[in-house]
Every structure is written in C-alpha cells, then in structure tokens.
Amino acid sequence: MAAAASVVAVVGTITGMVSALNDDDHRPDEARPLVTRSPSLRPLPAVTPTPSPSPSSASSASPSPSRTSATPSPKPDEEETTKTVAAPARLYRHPDSQILDWLAGNPTDPRLAVIKSRIADQPAAVWFADYTPSTIATRVRAVTSGGAALGRVPVVVPYAIPDRDCGGASQGGAPGLDAYDAWIDRFAAGLGSDEVIVILEPDSIAQSDCLSSGQRVDRFASLARAGRVLKAANPRARVYYDAGHSQWNAPDKQAALLGKAGAASAASSDGVFSNVSNFNRTSAEVAYTRAVLDALGGPRGLGAVIDTSRNGNGAPADGQWCDPAGRKVGQPPTLGTGEARIDAYLWVKLPGESDGCKGAAGTFSPGYAYDLAR
C-alpha cells in the first residue's frame, strides 16, 4: 500500500468497532462476525501536494468563531422563535474486536485501564477483507443492525478488490472483477436502511499504478458500480472513495483518478477518505482533502473523512512506517468536526493492530497499543 496505507495480509474476521463515549452496550446474542485486519503501511515516494488555501485548525472539534455568526434580534413586529439544532449523530461501538478480546482475557494487566479508556472505548471501523461471498451479507448485517438498534452510525470497510496492494503484504481479494461485483452486491444487501459510513476499498485508487491502463479502467468501473450499488441498496449509506493521503499523490492527480472511479457522482459517492493507516497530521489532511475535492468538482455536498487513529504526534521524520516509535492516538472519532467539508474524523485503522514489526501484521499488540495510548 501507500506511503502509509499498505494493507496487511488479511483473512479472518472483522476488526471490531467501538461506540463513542464509553458505550458498553454489548449484545451477547448478536452473531459474532469474522474479524478482518486493517491495513499496514509500506513506504512509497512522498509527493508534496498543493495545499488548499488557509485551512482552519483541524484540532478544533467545534466550529471556529469565524464560522459562527450571531443570531440577529427579531424585528419589533416579528414573533420570536426558537430553533432546535439536532446534536450530531454518535458513532457505533461494535462489541467484537481483537482489543476487546484482549481486555477480556487480561483483566489484571496493568496496561488495561489506559488501553481501554484511550482506545477500546472509541469507535473504530469494521473491516471485511476476506472473500467469503456466502457469509458477507450476514456479517455486514450484524454490524449495521447493531448500530441501528442503538441509533448510532457504524463504519464498515469493504476490502476485497482484486489485485489489492499490488501483490504486497495485503495481497488478496476477489478472484476477479466479476466475482468482486457479485461480492459487493451481497455486501450491499447487509447495509440495512439506517445511516452507515462505507470506506470503499482503501488504496484501490491511490495505489493503482501497478495495473495496466486497461486493468485500471476496469477497476475504476467496478468501483463506480460499487458506489452506485451500495447507495441504491441503502440511500442513507455514505460512501467515501480512496484519496490516499497528503504525502502521496498531488491533489489534481488524485482527483483525476477519483473522477474516473465515480467519486464525483452523487449516485455513487459522498466524497473521499484520507490517511488510512497513516500518521500525517489532521491539519495536513484537512488541507489536502479540500484541495482534492476542489479539483474533483462534483456536487457541492461532497465531503471528506480523515483517519486520525494514530496521528497524534504526526508522521515520523525518518519515514518509518512499520509500527514506528513515538506515535500517539489522534483526534477521537467524531461526526462533528467543526471543519467545512470535513464530515468526520474516524479511526479506520484500529490503534494497537501491528503493521508487522511489533507483532504479526494485523494482530493486536498490547505493548504497541499502550505506547500509542499513554
């Protein structure tokens, strides 16, 4: 995968989600889905993008004063009314993940309280990375129905595009695009009818240079179809496409690729995602994704979501990508960023799942998790 989003070898079961704000609503009768591993990282040459002008601070979780206008007083003859502003939706905590398994199995570990409060109690995406057509709809439904039951928003990651990771550590996926299209149809059947965020195929667009021009055209056609199928199955699904990250392709180059994959069409896309499994600072990703969206065009409502799971200290200066020391968890996941065109900060890569140096790629490493959390 990319300078920060190469994908680990993944089969197996879904990386659990955690609901925002210490929600301990476990559903013991719920089917336990398979846990898939989120991506690891592999370095690629960094490309300095063209930043968008004057992004506001990404560390703020509420609107900056410059975006907040005072409510005018009513005219003397006007009847004063009170407007009710709905609170932002909250993200769903899926009660099944490697980190929750570790917590249950190690109740006396001195690192437990820190790992639980700083990582396990936060929402993280649920990955579906093994090609298992017969069970995918049921497994997706286990996550989306759990979120619907609590009135919360799950985040799911379909990750089965053929030739993913260009044959690297996370190689795999469906045996061909026809099989992938059919897999997506079944994935869509599990989305339900409530709000859900779909992170569609990390690195499938940013890391497509290894494909021939014909293969790239075919992949992008399948991705465009996937977005249409997902949104047709559930009109409340919010589908985001791969924008890589701020140290990969320049915004205009990435936008050109995204456009070919359907990311500028309201029928298939709600925008783009960036920084999956990477460490770039949120402010850099805010500037970058805005620049990508500007270059992409499309409906005004297109936005971006940013993976903030491990970017609390930014990327290491030496370019280390595999479980680098000195990193920290970043901005907690939220659907209320206070940033124009930035729809959410999400934890797509679950902190504590190794890139392959502190443990087998994709497996939970309590030592790594503790270092990120403390």
Catalytically active residues, by annotation: 165, 203, 355
User: C-alpha angle with apex 221: 264 to 202, nearest 5 degrees?
Assistant: 70
| C-alpha span between 128 and 132 (Å, rounded) | 9
Amino acid sitting at position 79: E
Would strands 342-346 and 303-307 be described as parallel, antiparallel, or unpaired?
parallel
| C-alpha span between 52 and 30 (Å, rounded) | 45
CB 85 within 8 A of CB 345: no
Residue 297's contacts (CB-CB under 8 Å, 6 or more residues apart) are 255, 259, 264
| C-alpha span between 268 and 331 (Å, rounded) | 28
- Residue 166, both tokens: 């260009």
Report H helices in 157-212: 177-189
| C-alpha span between 112 and 84 (Å, rounded) | 40
CB 371 within 8 A of CB 359: no
| Beta strand ranges found along the chain (DSSP E) | 126-128, 155-158, 196-199, 237-242, 271-274, 303-307, 342-346
